[in-house]
A = this chain, B = another copy of it.
Amino acid sequence: MINQKTVAVFGLGSMGYGIARSVLRAGHRTYGFDVMDEPMERLADEGSLRGQPELVAEELDAAVIAVLNASQTEMVLFGDGGIVPKLRAGAVVIACATVAPDFARSIATRCAEFDVHYLDAPMSGGSIKAAEGQLTFMASGSHSAFVAARPVFDAAAERVFELGNEPGAGSAMKAVNQMLAGVHIAAMAEALTFGLTQGVSPAQFLEVISECAGTSWMLENRAPHIVSGDYTPHSKVDIWPKDLGIVLDIAKSARFAAPLTAAALQQFLAAAGSGLGGEDDAAVAKVYARNAGLDLPEIG
């Protein structure tokens, strides 16, 4: 293969696994690392290489960090056995977790001390898009970082928004997107269950509202889960106390009052607190239904 690269993906959840598979499918030498053995074995069965992060780091052209949050990102990069000191000069770290812009800026500075490029590149699109290599990335960083990351994006991205050469801008846009995505899921749940009190069935809600001014991307994506009563997690309730928490931490630092986001967070906290954390995030509707004594559809 011309221009074959060596890439490692850290974090093989639904997003990271999809990226790793896309990179592998594109013909690159691919490593996948996770705290769990199962996804690493599954990826190896598909053709990924086996190794230890600290031993293979020096081979890497790109390291994709698809873990859950800032502290896991820091651990992979600079923790015990962290890879950045072992990466060769000119390698790129593509950091995909939702983190605060300040965190992205500080980690980028620490990478630069090792002549390692850092791309602040949170992603959007969900597990299905990840599996198809059709993710959207909101990325910012130096021109060299973008060039080094190109083979990974060619394999895993449908679209890359290039948001300038300052790390932090990608994470800022991701925070804005997550604010809206979380609020829209809770709003969909609020409106769907409100409709139930007025005799509007969930199926009728989806059919009509998805064609009207009240629609949103999240409504069209998540309301079908409620209509079918299937809460198999594509994206879990537990994501939102974390992501809206990050958003509100950033907002608080900026002394920015975000009343809708705060209200949405409370609904996701109530969902997580009542045992729904592992279900699909559409299950926030169960909080509304329970509070109003309503019955949602059950799986057929």
Residues of A within 8 A of B (CB): 101, 124-126, 136, 138, 159, 161, 163, 168-169, 172-173, 175-181, 183-184, 186-188, 190-195, 197-200, 204-205, 207-209, 211-219, 221, 247, 250-251, 254-264, 266-267, 288, 291-292
Contact = CB atoms under 8 A, between A and B. Distances in A.
Given A259-B266, A266-B259, A138 B250 contact: no
Contacts of A187: 179-180, 183-184, 187, 260
Contacts of A190: 179, 183, 258-261
Contacts of A256: 193-194, 197, 288, 291-292
Main secondary structure of the interface of A (DSSP, over half): helix
B212 A251 contact: no
Contacts of A217: 212-216
B181 A214 contact: yes
Contacts of A251: 194, 197
B212 A177 contact: yes
A176 B267 CA distance: 19
A251 B125 CA distance: 33
A214 B254 CA distance: 21
Nearest to A176: B195
A200 B176 contact: yes
Contact of A124 (B180, B213, B221): B213
Nearest to A250: B198
A186 B124 contact: no
B178 A214 contact: yes
A208 B258 contact: no
B138 A177 contact: no
Contacts of A197: 251, 254, 256
A178 B214 CA distance: 7
A6 to B, nearest CB: 30
25 contacts: A101-B198, A101-B199, A124-B212, A124-B213, A161-B208, A163-B204, A169-B200, A176-B195, A176-B198, A177-B213, A177-B214, A179-B214, A180-B214, A181-B214, A183-B260, A184-B187, A184-B216, A190-B259, A193-B256, A194-B254, A198-B250, A212-B217, A215-B216, A256-B292, A257-B291
